């Protein structure tokens, strides 16, 4: 939910009071990290 829409929507829907709780469970995948690294720093 947080990745597809917005972290604040995920927070509202889950009922968590703290945004820190949402970030605890929303981590980028290894592929996402790799792809962003390539976009920022070129092919590795």
Classified as helix, coil or strand, 22 is helix
Q: What is the CA radius of gyration of the chain?
A: 13
Instruction: Write out the two tokens for 34.
Output: 């790799």
Rounded CA-CA distance 35/43 in Å is: 9
| Residue 1: inside a domain | no
* Number of domains, the chain: 1
Taking the CA atoms of 30, 36, 38 and 42 in sequence, report the sign of the dihedral they define.
Answer: negative
pTM over 0.85: no
* Measured CA distances, 33 to 3, 7, 26, 39 (Å): 14, 18, 13, 10
Domain, as residue range, for 31: 7-41
**What pLDDT, in 10s, does the model give residues 30-44?**
998 999 899 999 875
- pLDDT score of 2: 67
For 13-24, write each residue's pLDDT tens digit: 888 668 888 888
Q: With bands split at pLDDT 50, 70 and 90, how would you rate the model's confidence at 3?
A: low
Task: Answer yes or no: is pLDDT of 8 > 90.
Answer: no
């Amino acid at each position: 939910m947080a990745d597809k829409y917005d972290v604040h929507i995920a927070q509202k829907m889950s009922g968590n009071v703290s945004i820190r709780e949402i970030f605890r469970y929303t981590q980028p995948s290894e592929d996402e990290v790799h792809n962003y690294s390539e976009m920022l720093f070129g092919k590795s």
